[in-house]
Amino acid sequence: MQFAPVLRSEWLKIRTLPSLLGTLLALFAATTAFSAIAGASTTQDPDFDPLFTTQSGVLPGQIAAISFGAMAVSQEFHNGALRLSLTAVPRRLGWYAAKATAIAVPVFLVASATALASLIAARAGLGSAADGLSVGEQVRAVAGCSVYLTLTALLAAGLATLLRSGVATLSLIIPFILVVSFVIGDAAGTAVEFMPDRAGQLVLQRTHEGILGPWSGLGVTALWTAAALLAGAWSLRRRDA
């Protein structure tokens, strides 16, 4: 079967589930709202980063992206849905590629609109504090935020395929981001830079210290995502539907 019809069928599955569309709406609403609040909150912190402030809503927003990726895959493991999908599309890796694409495209489109809306909303609150931001920096933040959120959704999709459970995937990734990365991560030294969330978010920061830069940090997140997707592909090929 050709790729386009498979992709269309996988998108139809996503489009007909209100819970998945709700996560995309939550991605837009949470990210934009928190960025607007951050922009309206003045700070005297010497480490204040106006560029990161414009996209700071990505911190709660990434949870919605992760949920979308995990839920879009985990639905296949209920009531024999995966067996039906693979009966219609025997080439498992072809089906998996279509599923990943059907996840990545809507997340990227929504994330792009979200990042731009966050920038506009936060800048309105920052006022003169954002005047020093260059066009290049703002473009980097918007593009980087879009790619970062897409990568986190795909990371969750790969792990959900490996674990065959959306609950298990969310129970693993969300505590990692909220607890390990922020609480334990600061005590981990240089290793914290290579955590998927910390590395990817460097693209949103105006200045940075350490080994990684904005795009190399996003590259590290991409490697984490590729590893998760490959692990999912291995599981899909080796295990029964």
Q: What total number of domains does the chain contain?
A: 1
pTM, two decimal places: 0.92
**241 in a structural domain:** no
**CA torsion through residues 99, 101, 107, 110, sign:** negative
pLDDT tens, 46-85? 678 889 999 999 999 999 999 999 999 998 887 777 888 8
The residue segments making up the domain with residue 98 are 3-235
Mean pLDDT for the chain overall? 88
What would the mean pLDDT of 220-238 be, rounded to a whole number? 94
Q: State yes or no: pLDDT of 241 exceeds 60.
A: no
pLDDT tens, 7-26? 898 899 898 889 999 999 99
pLDDT tens, 111-120? 999 999 999 9
67 vs 46: CA distance, rounded Å: 35
**214 in a structural domain:** yes
**189 in a structural domain:** yes
82 vs 214: CA distance, rounded Å: 38
User: 49: alpha, beta or left, given left = phi > 0 and alpha = psi -120 to 50?
Assistant: beta
pLDDT tens, 157-194? 999 999 998 899 999 998 888 777 666 656 656 677 88
